[in-house]
Amino acid sequence: KNKKKETEGEGGEDGESKQPETWIDNIAGASALGRRRLVRVIDSGDKRLLLYAAAKRLLVADFASATLIECEQPHTERVSAIASHDGKFMVSGGQDKKLVVWELPSMKIKSQTTTDKKIVAAVIDHSGTNVVFAEKAGEVFSKPIADPEAKSTHLLGHISSLTDMALSSSGNRLLTADRDEKIRISYYPA
C-alpha cells in the first residue's frame, strides 16, 4: 500500500499557506510548495542559460560552465513571468508589479518600471519592441520595451484569472488561457 504522510504548513515564504504535502510531493520538489515555479532555458549567443524563479529570487546558471551567474535581485515579491527575445534580452515580471528588462547573457538590468497590476504572464512580440503582459484579474496589456515610462495599452480581458499566454509563430495571434479552462485566440496587435 501507498501510505501518505500529511503535514500542515505554517505559511510559505511569501505569506502563502502551504498545501498538505505527501511524500511524493517532497520527492517532486516544487509541487509541494503549492505554487507555480518558473524554469526557462534561454539560448543567448554562445551561452545557454537556465533561469529559475525561486520566490523573489532569480537564479541563473550557465550550462557550459555549470556556474551560477550573479545578478541583481530587483523583485521584492514572487517572480511569476519570464520572457526572452532572440537571446539578446529578457523581461521578468512579478507580484510586485515590476517589469524588469535584462541584457543577455550578462544579466545586467537595462531598465525597470512599475505597472498598475500584478503580473502573471509575459511574452515579447516578434519585433522585440513590446512586452505583452497579463495581470492577475485577467486583463492583458502591451508596453514598449524601449520606453519604460510609456503608458501600458489595454489589449483584451478574460472573466477569470489568466494562467498563461503565448504568441503564434507568425506573431499575429495572441493566445491566452484562464483558470476556467478557456483559451482565447486574438489578433495581435489588436
Greatest alpha-carbon span in the chain: 59
User: What is the pLDDT confidence band of residue 7, given thresholds at 50, 70 and 90?
Assistant: very low
Nearest to residue 77, comparing CAs of 88, 61, 66, 93?
A: 93
Look at residue 156 and tell me whether its pLDDT is greater than 60.
Answer: yes
Antiparallel, parallel or unpaired: β 57-62 and 67-69: antiparallel
Residue 150 · residue 143 · CB < 8 Å: yes
Task: Identify the pLDDT of residue 38.
Answer: 72
CA distances from 41 to 60, 82, 143 (A): 10, 10, 24
Residue 174 · residue 133 · CB < 8 Å: no
Task: Identify the pLDDT of residue 190.
Answer: 64
- Average confidence (pLDDT) over 145-168: 89
**Could you give the angle at the alpha carbon of 76 between the alpha carbons of 88 and 128, nearest 5°?**
20
Please state the length of the chain.
190
Cell of 43: 539560448
Task: State the CB neighbour count (10 A cutoff) for residue 100.
Answer: 23
Cell of 180: 476556467
Residue 46 · residue 91 · CB < 8 Å: no
- Residue that wins the pLDDT comparison between 160 and 110: 110
Residue 114 sits at φ, ψ, to 5 deg, of -110, 135
Q: Which amino acid is at 101?
A: V
> What pTM did the predictor assign?
0.74
Average pLDDT taken over every residue of the chain: 80
How far apart CA 183 and CA 33 sit, in angstroms, is: 26
